[in-house]
Amino acid sequence: MNDEHMDTQTGAEQGAEQTESAEVSAPSVAAAGTKVKDLREDMPQVEGKIGQDEPLVQEGMQWFVLRVASNKENSVQQTLLRKIQIEGMTHLVGRILVPTEKIKTIKGGKTKIKEEKLYAGYVFVEMRLEDDGRIPQDIFFLIKETTGVGDFIGTAGRPTPMQMHEVEKMLLDSQAPEDEPTIRLSFEKGESVLIREGAFENYEGTVDELFPEKGTVRVLVSIFGRQAPVDLEEWQIAKVDEA
């Protein structure tokens, strides 16, 4: 996993494959003492995720990437946390995360905010390995017997630890401010689109400008042989090849 590959769900898949071939390397002493708030000064604490005063990596532990069934990320997270508490294994397994982001959409002037997983099909697990790099047997069976769980990224029985820059990126994602949801626009300037709603329904046009803060797109439409700019909400248009 590298920084540019961790920004999308597809990127997570590509990054995961890259991590599989990476050499196993333990976090440095200096990195282990670093706290989450050191990554960004204005980092807020988000309940149920990672507190700003918590370390990036707990002493003696490392972060690993666990593949899970699609849409099972949260249930796997909660089940594992519960099992670890019941079995008294918190000294072997630390934090378990499912990073999400809040996406804001605007339709008909109404704002809707929903939460989406950043890395679909993956759960991040902090744990302590045996001296030979294997997962402790009790933890191995506890995890593998959980519904929806696949394999850790790495070789059989020896998962590959995340690199420190990957940990930093993942923890920053886990701490995204809840009061600043992202507006995601799936169009690009110069792209051909078809208008699906409104006064110019079924007209084709070209994306001229994006306004993420408003959730709108300015489209140039040919009217009576002249191009005219029309501001539309994202849901009112579609890419020509997808219409």
Question: Domain of 89: which CATH number?
Answer: 3.30.70.940
Average pLDDT of the residues in 100-119: 73
Grade residue 233 by pLDDT with cuts at 50, 70 and 90.
confident
Residues 167 and 232 in one domain: no
What pLDDT is stored for residue 38 in this prediction?
55
What pLDDT is stored for residue 36 in this prediction?
52
> What distance in Å separates the CA atoms of residue 163 and residue 62, rounded to the nearest whole number?
9
Phi-psi region of 82 (alpha: psi -120 to 50; beta: other; left: phi over 0): alpha
Residue 66: domain span: 3-174
pLDDT of 33 higher than 60: no
Residues 118 and 234 in one domain: no
Q: Is 181 inside a domain boundary?
A: no
- Give percent above pLDDT 70 in the chain: 70
Q: Is 27 inside a domain boundary?
A: yes
Residues 81 and 50 in one domain: yes
Q: Is 179 inside a domain boundary?
A: no
Residues 51 and 87 in one domain: yes
Residues 170 and 208 in one domain: no
Residues 132 and 208 in one domain: no
What total number of domains does the chain contain?
2
**In the numeric block, which tokens belong to residue 127?**
């744990």
Q: What is the mean pLDDT of the chain?
A: 76
What pLDDT is stored for residue 101 in this prediction?
76
Comparing CA positions, the residue from 67, 19, 13, 17 lying closest to residue 167 is: 19
Q: For 171-200, what is each residue's pLDDT tens digit? A: 877 665 555 556 666 788 899 999 988 888
Comparing CA positions, the residue from 102, 132, 136, 137 lying closest to residue 117 is: 102
Residues 233 and 125 in one domain: no
- Which range among 138-152, 167-181, 198-212 has the greatest average pLDDT? 138-152
Residues 42 and 15 in one domain: yes
What pLDDT is stored for residue 69 in this prediction?
94
pLDDT of 223 higher than 90: no
Q: Is 152 inside a domain boundary?
A: yes
What pLDDT is stored for residue 178 in this prediction?
53
Q: Is 136 inside a domain boundary?
A: yes
Q: Is 214 inside a domain boundary?
A: yes
- Which range among 8-22, 31-45, 170-184 has the greatest average pLDDT? 170-184
Residues 162 and 199 in one domain: no
The b-or-e profile of 146-175 (16+ CB within 10 A means b, else e) is bebbeebbbeeeebbbbbbebbbbbbbbbb
Residues 131 and 210 in one domain: no
